[in-house]
Amino acid sequence: MEAAKAVRARVAEKIVSKVLTDLKMDSRRADIEIVKVWNSLIDPNIVAHAQPANLHKGTLFVNVDSSTWLSEIVRYRRKEILDRLQHGFGKNVIQKISYRVG
């Protein structure tokens, strides 16, 4: 009886692991963590107008709510934001940031 329960537990573990992989839960957890760090490390004025959307192959994609704020961020705050995020996550995780209105 115990052996049968152990086998069922291992089978269930494999199924759950596969489902989580298929749903890309690790990636989603990372995205949530980036948003939390973004909201705590970045100037609240910027946070009100720009939010991270996706991290792909070292590039963080950030949506900005207007072209005015996009210009402000790109011209004056880009390096500061990148430095803060690299300090929080490491230079190999966030290598660059791509901003876009959206």
- 39-76 pLDDT tens trace: 998 999 999 999 999 888 899 999 999 999 999 999 99
Is the model's pLDDT at 26 over the cut of 90? no
Summary mean pLDDT of the chain: 83
Whether 50 and 97 have beta carbons less than 8 Å apart is answered as: no
Phi, psi of 7 (to 5 degrees): -65, -45
pLDDT at 20: 53
Spatial separation of the C-alpha atoms in residues 93 and 59, rounded to whole Å: 8
Question: Phi, psi at residue 43, to the nearest 5°?
Answer: -50, 130
> Who has greater pLDDT, 7 or 85?
85
In 3D, which of 64, 55, 65, 63 has the Cα closest to residue 86? 55
